[in-house]
Amino acid sequence: MKKPTALVMCACVAVSAAFGRKGYDKAIADFTKAIELDPANLYFNCSRGVAYFEKGDYDRAIADFETALRLDPNDEEVKNVLGKVRQLKQLRQ
């Protein structure tokens, strides 16, 4: 199965969050349940990370992207997104 790109993941989270901040909370809850069922799923970890990022919870977003990177250490897209989230966190401190 081909894994979705970061753009697809962002779009999925954006749809889940279309109705405001509560949408992010619902997306996080849904992806958390999905991760409980399939913790090795890169898509679920990245998607929850995007939702945390959109909420401004950079620490949890970083943790999810680090988990995704452990699942697929060669995923350049995850490395790139993780680096950008870390940079943004530094700028916001």
Hey, where are the domains in the chain? 6-92
Task: Retrieve residue 81's tokens.
Answer: 């997104």
Average pLDDT over the chain, rounded to an integer: 83
R_g (Cα) of the chain, nearest Å? 12
Instruction: Tell whether the model's pLDDT for residue 58 goes beyond 70.
Output: yes
Instruction: Tell whether the model's pLDDT for residue 3 goes beyond 70.
Output: no
Helices of type H across the chain: 6-16, 21-37, 42-55, 58-71, 76-92
Mean pLDDT of the region 67-86: 93
Q: What is the pTM of this model?
A: 0.78
Residues 62-72: tens digit of each pLDDT: 999 999 999 99
Instruction: Tell whether the model's pLDDT for residue 55 goes beyond 80.
Output: yes
At the topology level of CATH, where does 6-92 sit? 1.25.40
DSSP 8-state assignment for residue 4 = P
Task: Pick 15 or 35 by higher pLDDT.
Answer: 35
Contact 47, 78 (CB under 8 A): no
